[in-house]
Amino acid sequence: MTEQTDLSLLSFEQALKKLEEIVARLESGEAALDESITLYTQGEALRAQCEARLKDAQARIEKITLGANGQPTGTTAFDAG
């Protein structure tokens, strides 16, 4: 299995935790240059994966619409604006 495939198997929460660990390691300044480059690359892949999963979740969210009597009448697409 490739690293990219391994990342795609992580849940959003797992990917976010791994990204936070990478950021902490990079911010500590303890990583050598080559390791920092590798960590940055992994972090960028995790960031992109988390962003894609958030966009996917947002696209699936629906707002429940209520009628004049306060009863649910249906749903409309999520509007982030």
* Segment 28-37, tens digit of pLDDT: 999 999 999 9
Find where tokens 């249906």 sit. Answer: 74
Instruction: Calculate the alpha carbon distances from 34 to 9, 41, 57, 72 in Å.
Output: 26, 11, 35, 57
| Regions of the chain where pLDDT drops below 50 | 1
pLDDT of residue 56: 84
Please give the pLDDT value at position 57.
82
pLDDT of amino acid 70: 79
Whole-model pTM over 0.75 = no
Can you give the residue ranges of every domain in the chain?
A: 3-77
Contacts of 23 (CB under 8 A, 6+ apart): 43
Q: Which long-range contacts (CB under 8 A, 24 or more apart) does 20-23 make?
A: 22/46
